[in-house]
Structure 1
Amino acid sequence: YRLHGKDYYAIGFENNAHGFELRNPYWKGAYPPKCITHIANGNARCNVFEGFIDFLSAEKLGYNDGNDTIVLNSVSNLGKALTPLSDYSVISCYLDNDDAGRAALAKLRKEFGDRVADKSTLYPDHKDLNDYLVSITPIQKSKLKF
């Protein structure tokens, strides 16, 4: 995209309000409006992620396994996820291991009780699921010949 006469690039992840979460190696932002992204396939189980990079990490790790998904795109959007989450019998939360992630998990447990599973126990020594994936992924050496 072009902004103020300069060219930029970012990966975009669309939300339910047709805004986009945007990322590149140097910047993290959004094109409004902010909203959750709900990927519904008619499954009784739903995975919840704070951001789309964690969702993509779960895809790489094979954790999504056909489940429906809600990407919050910010824990501040948690309230927008409550109505769609009420339809699920199992809510697996892959939230960050920080105060905001733990507060979101507590709110979901208060709302949905034992239907909520804390999956952050899979990566207890890491900030989030992507941090865990990066830590277990070997660095590829360049195959360029000089």
Structure 2
Amino acid sequence: NVEISRLESPTLLRYLAQRGIPKEIAQKYCVKVDYQLRGKDYYAIGFENNAHGYELRNAAFKGSYPPKHITHISNGNDRCNVFEGFIDFLSAERLRYNDGTDTIVLNSVSNLNKAIAPLREYRVVSCYLDNDNAGRAAFVKLQQELGDKVMDKSALYPNHKDLNDYLMSLYPKQSTKLKL
């Protein structure tokens, strides 16, 4: 029992605002997903992947509605940005790092192999991956597979876990006061 609707929930929008993501960006890329689990009703922010599954987030839950897959947003550009998760992608939108560039959101580093074939088509691949072992290993693998066209953009947020952590550090008070 899964229902998809426009993202209007004040609770979910407040959660995203606390992460530095304004309503306009959230509503452009995300939906509200109502679902049942073990007889209980839940709802979360949903970010659709290429296999029509959803990454699900709320203040208390991080998961997915299968199948797991990458999300490829194509704008006909010869450059592509790569993100581990959709919150980092939304953060890049807020920071204006995307500017019409194509995007692949891995939705988990375990989906990295699914991204390699589409990434071969790009002239430049910019990686905004997490500053942890998994993010560094994913970057190395992409560089091995795709060569010198792969660039590491994590130097933009060196003292932060990921791009969203960096965004929240730039606007610490604003992030909780964004209009819903």
TM-score bracket, normalised by the shorter chain, equals over 0.9
Task: Tell whether 2:30 aligns with 1:23.
Answer: no
Identity within the alignment, % = 73
Q: Distance in 1 between matches of 2:165 and 2:100?
A: 23
Structure 1: tracts of 5 or more residues without a match: none
Alignment of 1:2-81 (within 5 A): 2-3=35-36, 4-81=38-115
Q: Which residue of 1 aligns with 2:160?
A: 126
Aligned pair count reads: 142
Which whole-Å deviations, capped at 9, do the CAs of 1:5-46 have from their partners, x for residues lacking one? Answer: 533221000000000000001110000000000001110000
Candidates 94, 99, 109, aligned match of 2:143 = 109
Task: Tell whether 2:132 aligns with 1:98.
Answer: yes
Question: Which aligned segments of 4 or more residues in structure 1 are displaced greater than 6 angstroms?
Answer: none
Q: TM-score, normalising length from structure 1?
A: 0.93
Does the residue aligned with 2:43 lie in a helix, a strand or coil? coil
Q: Which has the bigger relative contact order, CA under 8 A and spacing at least 6?
A: 2
Superposition CA RMSD, Å = 1.3
Letter of the structure 1 residue corresponding to residue 123 of structure 2: S
Candidates 98, 112, 118, aligned match of 1:84 = 118
Does the residue aligned with 2:140 lie in a helix, a strand or coil? helix
Q: TM-score, normalising length from structure 2?
A: 0.76
Q: Distance in 1 between matches of 2:35 and 2:95?
A: 34
Does the residue aligned with 1:47 lie in a helix, a strand or coil? strand
Letter of the structure 2 residue corresponding to residue 6 of structure 1: K
Q: Distance in 2 between matches of 1:73 and 1:134?
A: 20
Q: Distance in 2 between matches of 1:134 and 1:84?
A: 31
